[in-house]
Amino acid sequence: MADQGFPTSKRLNNSKEFDAVFKSNQFRVSSPEILLLARRNNVKQNRLGMVVAKKNTAKAASRNRLKRLIREVFRRVSPASLDIVILTRSGTNGKSTQALNQILVGAFATVVEKSSQQTVLET
């Protein structure tokens, strides 16, 4: 069985790391359900931060389901050296897991595409 853990090295661990993405994001993807912000990092691996607010998703079980789904999609994505923060919105309520999965895959794919286009332009 493959390792399904989510190590500390793959996470944004403190407010300083989150603030860096909030203040100087280079890539942004928005939908009624989520807001995804990303910026390049110097760690040579992807790192993820999640903001799943109680205000938007009242039940803890629903918040935990969202976080599991986000982590699973993040594991399958392979952008190079990005810090990503994903904020969920109230549009996630009532969506099926399959619908949310498609939204997340599309958002992550868009960020990967934007970052690779910028990389090509920089070289």
At residue 35, the pLDDT reads: 96
**Better-predicted residue by pLDDT, 101 or 119:** 101
Q: Which amino acid is at 46?
A: N
Strand-pair partners of 48 = 11, 84
pTM value? Answer: 0.88
Domains along the sequence of the chain with CATH: 8-122 (3.30.230.10)
Q: What is the 3-state secondary structure (H, E, C) of 33-71?
A: CEEEEEEECCCCCCEEEEECCCCCCCCHHHHHHHHHHHH
The larger pLDDT score, comparing residue 1 to residue 89, is at 89
Kind and range of the H or E run holding 4: none
List pLDDT tens digits, range 52-78.
999 988 899 999 999 999 999 998 876
Separation CA 70–CA 123 (nearest Å): 31
* pLDDT exceeds 60 at position 2: no
Interatomic CA distance for residues 57 and 66, integer angstroms? 9
Average pLDDT over residues 1-16: 81
